[in-house]
């Protein structure tokens, strides 16, 4: 009788372990699909010109965008591409974003357009700060640089 119980316990443990493995594989697949959807299906309308004209930004916002660009220029000149250097870059960019948000006095449709430009940048900076390796940090920095360069196409 003791042997029968031991066999039942062993089978139960094996069954639980297999079920747990399938469950974690399902989560892994779902996470991968969600990541792909996030990259390919924008959840917000894209930024467009204001009836063919650039949006009006306040001088503080323009100055803060210039400051963010100068942070990147300074990073490039330092020529230190370690993970720690990228994380420091992320922290400096975050401080610049915080300052820009705090000083912004824009309103109305111009302000709404700014948010369409700003929200991806905030996410990119957050991703940069949590980068685990140089390759992903470099890729995120390239995205940030491109997003900063888009600013002048839509705002004056």
- Which position has the higher pLDDT, 5 or 83? 83
Q: Which residues of 31-65 are buried (b: 16+ CB within 10 A; e: fewer)?
A: eeeeeeeeeeeeeeeebeeeeeeebbbbeebeebb
Picking from 92, 93, 95, 87, the residue whose alpha carbon sits closest to that of residue 136 is 87
Reported as a single tens digit per residue, the pLDDT across 64-94 is: 999 999 999 999 999 999 999 999 999 999 9
Measured distance CA(142)–CA(50) in Å, rounded:
27
Tokens in use for 115?
């948010």
The mean pLDDT of the chain is 82
Q: What pLDDT does residue 35 have?
A: 52
Picking from 147, 127, 146, the residue whose alpha carbon sits closest to that of residue 137 is 127
Measured distance CA(31)–CA(53) in Å, rounded:
40
pLDDT beyond 90 at 113: yes
pLDDT beyond 70 at 55: yes
């Amino acid at each position: 009788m003791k042997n029968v119980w031991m066999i039942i316990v062993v089978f139960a443990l094996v069954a639980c372990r297999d079920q747990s493995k399938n469950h974690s594989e399902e989560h892994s697949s779902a996470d991968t699909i969600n990541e792909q959807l996030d990259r390919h299906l924008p959840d917000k309308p894209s930024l467009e010109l204001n009836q063919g004209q650039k949006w009006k930004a306040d001088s503080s916002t323009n100055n803060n965008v210039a400051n963010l660009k100068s942070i990147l220029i300074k990073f490039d000149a330092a020529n230190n591409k370690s993970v720690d250097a990228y994380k420091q870059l992320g922290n400096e960019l975050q401080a610049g974003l915080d300052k820009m948000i705090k000083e912004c006095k824009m309103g109305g449709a111009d302000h709404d357009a700014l948010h369409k430009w700003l929200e991806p940048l905030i996410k990119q900076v957050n991703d940069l700060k949590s980068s685990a390796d140089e390759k992903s940090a470099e890729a995120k920095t390239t995205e940030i640089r491109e997003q900063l360069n888009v600013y002048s196409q839509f705002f004056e």
